[in-house]
C-alpha cells in the first residue's frame, strides 16, 4: 500500500536522497521540538481558564490544580525520558518512535482542548509529558546519528533556535 513511500526490494523509496539529507532531518527534528515547546507554551496560560470554564474548578482551587498539572507534565517527562533513551538505543529505526511520539503529542493536545473534567485534562498532561520525552530523546538521537560529530554544534544551534521560537 505504501510501497511508493517506503520502497521495495526493486526500487528505493520516493525522494530517498532528500528525506535522508542532514538538512531535512535537522529541520524535521527542529520542527518537532518547536511544536512541543509551542504547545507547552500555549497550554500554560490557558490552563486556569480551562479549569474554570470547562472543568468547573472553583476559583480558589485554580492555583493548586495549575501547579499539579504543570508538575504532572514534568514528572511524565522525567519518568519517560530514560525509558525512551533505552528503547531508542535498541530500536532499528528512529523514524517510527519519533512519528509515534508526534502522534501522541497531537493526541494529548486534542485531549487538552476537548477535556471537560480534571481527569481528562490530567491524562492529557501525562500524555503530553511522555510524548515530549519521545520527541526530545528520539529526535536528538536521530539528529546525532544523521549529522555526526563534526556538524552537531551547528545542528544543535538550529534546535536551540526552534526552542526559542517555540517559546
- What are the tens digits of pLDDT across the range 126-147? 999 999 999 999 999 989 888 8
pLDDT at 2: 54
Secondary structure letter of residue 13 according to DSSP: P
In angstroms, what CA-CA distances link 84 with 15, 24, 68, 78, 133? 29, 23, 24, 11, 7
Quick one: pLDDT band at residue 96, thresholds 50, 70, 90? confident
- pLDDT(89) > 70: yes
Burial class of 85 by CB neighbour count within 10 A (0 to 12, 13 to 18, 19+): middle
> Model-level pTM?
0.82
What percentage of residues in the chain have a pLDDT greater than 70?
88
- Reference 134, options 74, 73, 83, 63; nearest CA is 83
Interval 34-75: pLDDT, tens: 988 998 888 888 899 999 999 999 999 999 999 999 999 999
Amino acid at each position: 500500500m505504501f510501497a511508493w513511500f517506503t520502497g521495495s526490494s526493486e526500487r528505493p523509496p520516493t525522494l530517498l536522497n532528500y528525506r535522508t539529507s542532514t538538512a531535512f532531518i535537522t529541520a524535521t527534528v527542529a520542527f518537532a521540538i518547536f511544536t512541543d515547546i509551542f504547545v507547552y507554551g500555549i497550554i500554560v496560560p490557558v490552563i486556569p481558564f480551562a479549569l474554570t470554564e470547562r472543568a468547573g474548578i472553583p476559583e480558589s482551587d485554580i492555583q493548586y490544580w495549575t501547579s499539579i498539572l504543570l508538575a504532572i507534565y514534568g514528572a511524565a517527562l522525567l519518568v519517560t525520558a530514560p525509558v525512551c533513551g533505552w528503547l531508542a538505543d535498541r530500536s532499528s529505526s528512529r523514524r517510527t518512535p519519533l512519528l509515534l511520539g508526534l502522534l501522541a503529542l497531537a493526541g494529548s493536545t486534542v485531549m487538552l482542548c476537548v477535556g471537560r473534567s480534571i481527569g481528562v485534562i490530567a491524562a492529557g498532561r501525562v500524555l503530553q509529558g511522555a510524548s515530549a520525552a519521545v520527541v526530545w530523546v528520539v529526535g536528538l538521537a536521530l539528529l546525532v546519528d544523521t549529522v555526526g560529530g563534526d556538524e552537531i554544534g551547528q545542528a544543535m544551534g538550529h534546535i536551540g533556535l526552534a526552542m526559542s521560537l517555540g517559546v
